[in-house]
Amino acid sequence: MQFDFNKTEREKILERVFEKLENFYSDTKSLKTNPDLNIDAIRGLLLQEELEFGTQPEKAIDHVINGLETYAVHTPHPKYFGLFNPRSNFAGILADLITATYNPQLAGWSHAPFAVEVEDLLIREFSDKFGYKKEQTDGVFTSGGAEANLTALLCALNHRYPNITEEGLIGMDKKPVIFCSKEAHHSIQKAVKIVGLGTKLIKSIPITGESKLDTILLEQELKKLDYEVYAPLMVIGTAGTTGTGTIDNLHKLSDICQRYDIWFHVDAAYGGGAVLSSELKPYLGGIEKSDSITFDAHKWMSVPMGTSIFLTQHDDILENTFGISTPYMPKDDDGLKVAQPFTRSIQWSRRFIGLKVYLSLLLYGWKGYEQIINHQAEMGRYLKRRLREEGWSIMNDTVLPVVCFTREEFVNDMHITQYIMDNILKNGTSWLSLYPIDGIPTFRACITNYNTTEVEIEELIEELNREAASYRITVNQV
């Protein structure tokens, strides 16, 4: 069995793969945005018998690509107005191919010094973009925002309880409390479960009428906390909530955290991309005073999943949290002033995550990203304007291209949004989601694709108007 195949075979296989991928990449809009969820058909498509001895490359490739093309929500589609899953830019796709081929192991510096130094450079660059001082920061690439938020929780624990790495949770003198908005991402709940603190130690703070974490109520909770039993561990502000794209009052949260000596973490997984735009960056004011930041490059920077970053202004906290020594890790770099990646991260064996960002910047530059982000923000404003002109009501207020909307006549009708949504998804020409605001079900459309233009937005509005009219006819007939 030749795992490598020979050169002629490889060229033939790659030619077939590239042809099919190019067809998808260049003509994504011609496909349905979402699949028919027929579980029997999907399972029946799988090649189970071929797993024993294998099959011909052409058959295997055609099978996999057909499966992905037929049974997947096509997030690269310009009319995918869903969650923060953008179209991957071409540089990021190339980076994944290069990384898979060279397969560098980033656990130890000496095994992949170029790759490690690239990621360290990017950490410093992003620190600077967010307003941290390059020489006083640290950070690490992570597999996703959930890992970055978990890293933040672990760092906050080690900062508050320096002996926790030896004594564990049972060595804590008080129960640590995590404060966040009720709109904060649910990865926070997962993080406390993983650590073993329990979700009861999360204090969910109500939001204001602007959907921001209510800082007045936060201070009230801090003042009435029983400090004999509990200790405030961290406050989490969100820069771009998943539902409404809201940015919390980061300046105010920072001030509160400084007065109470609490770790201030900002989950900027989505909204952090705003720092790349001179137009949008001021809306993240206060993030530079945080102790740590989560940022997902696979969201607004349009690189393949999963490419996230954890940043912190405490340049020793990652080593204090994850530091460990082993007899078997390579020591070729002894004497060099380098940090070992495996001692500063949850991960041990790790792929070259940062290349997707590095190659993208080499091809497009920070200026190119600013143009793309400004374009998507403009498309968000265009969508809001056109919806209002067509009689729809905007239910959220954010500078980010996340739009939650309904019609005044449908506010008290709990069925209308689901009816329209079901029909749009059944047609497979657009994809958007539903999100409740103050008990009112609203449509949620997010501009996630740099190829989305006024054309796609007009097509979406036409669909919405058509389905709304169809619903009125159906109701009147009944």
pLDDT at 330: 64
pLDDT band at residue 416 using 50, 70 and 90 as cut-offs: confident
pLDDT surpassing 90 at residue 204: yes
Instruction: Please compute the mean of the pLDDT values over residues 211-232 and round it to a whole number.
Output: 96
- Taking the C-alpha atoms of residue 217 and residue 215, their distance in angstroms, rounded to an integer, is 5
pLDDT band at residue 476 using 50, 70 and 90 as cut-offs: low
Helix spans in 161-246 (H): 164-167, 187-195, 215-224
Number of Cβ within 10 Å of residue 91's Cβ equals: 20
pLDDT at 272: 97
Does 3.90.1150.170 match the CATH number of domain 361-477?
yes
pLDDT at 172: 86
Between CA 332 and CA 335, with CA 333 as vertex, the angle to 5 degrees is 125
pLDDT band at residue 398 using 50, 70 and 90 as cut-offs: very high
Instruction: Please compute the mean of the pLDDT values over residues 110-129 and round it to a whole number.
Output: 94
pLDDT band at residue 329 using 50, 70 and 90 as cut-offs: low
pLDDT surpassing 80 at residue 475: no
Helix spans in 72-112 (H): 90-102
pLDDT at 409: 85
Averaged pLDDT score across all residues of the chain = 93
Q: Is 384 helix (H, G, I), strand (E, B) or coil?
A: helix
pLDDT at 256: 97
What is the residue extent of each domain of the chain? 104-350, 361-477
Between CA 346 and CA 138, with CA 191 as vertex, the angle to 5 degrees is 45
pLDDT band at residue 328 using 50, 70 and 90 as cut-offs: low
pLDDT at 166: 86
pLDDT at 233: 96
pLDDT at 430: 96
Q: Is 233 helix (H, G, I), strand (E, B) or coil?
A: strand
pLDDT at 333: 60
The residue type at 295 = F
pLDDT at 292: 98
Domain boundaries 104-350, corresponding CATH code? 3.40.640.10
pLDDT at 97: 96
- Taking the C-alpha atoms of residue 163 and residue 172, their distance in angstroms, rounded to an integer, is 9
pLDDT at 334: 66
Q: 66: Cβ–Cβ under 8 A, 6 or more apart, which residues?
A: 45
The residue type at 326 = T
pLDDT band at residue 326 using 50, 70 and 90 as cut-offs: confident
pLDDT band at residue 343 using 50, 70 and 90 as cut-offs: confident
- Taking the C-alpha atoms of residue 413 and residue 44, their distance in angstroms, rounded to an integer, is 39
pLDDT surpassing 60 at residue 266: yes
pLDDT surpassing 70 at residue 1: no
- Report the share of the chain in percent with pLDDT over 90: 83
455-472 pLDDT, tens digit each:
999 999 999 999 998 887
128-181 pLDDT, tens digit each:
999 999 888 999 999 999 999 999 999 999 999 988 888 888 888 899 999 999
3-state secondary structure 427-462: HCCCECEEEEECCEEEEEEECCCCCCCHHHHHHHHH
pLDDT at 477: 56
pLDDT at 165: 86
Residue with more model confidence, 220 or 1: 220
